Structure 1
């Protein structure tokens, strides 16, 4: 006997990935079938989870990074592991250097921040001439 998966509100990255994987399996299910109904439910659950992920306040890119770090319980060392350079990450978080394209790409994935939110211009602290 085949048991159908039971879906609930998505509350974790793992649950999100499972829902995405299942959606991919059944995305061409014929209208009216049980799998089609499951697909519609998954679309709704995935959409709601993504709204929570992408519902970010209006803030400059560095503030958004700091907010998401707090949301996920990350420290600057976690970002440095992802990027590979602790000094540069520190300079960016202290508004002494702009985000590089590589940082934007990596931090977008790591922190679930849309790239568009990270490419906005922002002011560096005075007295530094760092160019991104």
Structure 2
């Protein structure tokens, strides 16, 4: 039986069919460098592409990224205050009363290994407000 040509996934039915075919490879993993291994890799790529477009995952906001790092790194608000200059400043940042400066973002990135992209993300747009572009 000839295999179907691999094409981009555009519908749920095509997605389900691709998943079904991929599952067969899980039980009988193809040897690297074979046509079957190449097919498996291509199917995985188109499934990943479809999932990324269909169910995008938004990156965390700046404060969420800081809070997550505090939790996973065992850092306290006092630790954040020492890093940023004061406990009040840390509190104001976490409650969104004060914006994060580039200097603060750099320190958080360098000292706590928070991805810079998470720290310099643009603030959420406010409804009804037009940009000054």
TM-score range (shorter-chain normalised) is: 0.3 to 0.5
Q: Which has the higher contact order (CA 8 A, sep 6+)?
A: 1
Task: Flag the structure with larger Rg.
Answer: 2
Task: State the TM-score, normalized to the length of structure 1.
Answer: 0.47
Task: State the TM-score, normalized to the length of structure 2.
Answer: 0.47
